[in-house]
Amino acid sequence: MAQISGRPLAGKVLIKPKAAEQKTASGIIIPDSAKEKPLQGEVVAVGKPKKDEEMEIKVGDQVLFGKYSGTELTIDGDNYLLMSQTDVLYIVK
């Protein structure tokens, strides 16, 4: 993965969403209009901690987040989600 220009502000994380599934387990191809928004991704950048909370998420973590969490951004031609650390629901081990 290429280096990202810039960094998130305090308490924010930048996530590269996992690609949406192209087909079902039984082999049916899913059209673009019916694809679900991915709910999992990899953390690619982390801001500094806020004064009253520590950053529990680090770069490289695989995380789960809510369906409508974050703000969609395009940085250097790639799509990302920017959200608060508190919007992340789960860190996958």
Domain boundaries, the chain: 12-18+35-92
Contact in structure between 43 and 92 (CB atoms under 8 Å): no
Looking at residue 62, what DSSP letter applies?
E
Q: Which residues pair with 63 in a beta bridge?
A: 41, 91
- At position 44, the amino acid (one-letter code) is V
Neighbours of 57 (CB within 10 A): 15
Spatial separation of the C-alpha atoms in residues 27 and 16, rounded to whole Å: 26
Q: Helices (H) and strands (E) in the chain — how many of each?
A: 0, 6
The answer to whether domain 12-18+35-92 has CATH 3.40.50.150 is no
Asked if pLDDT for residue 19 goes beyond 90, the answer is no
Q: What is the pTM of this model?
A: 0.77
pLDDT digits (tens, 9 = 90+) for 29-70: 766 665 556 689 999 999 998 888 888 999 999 999 988 888
- Model pLDDT, residue 18: 83
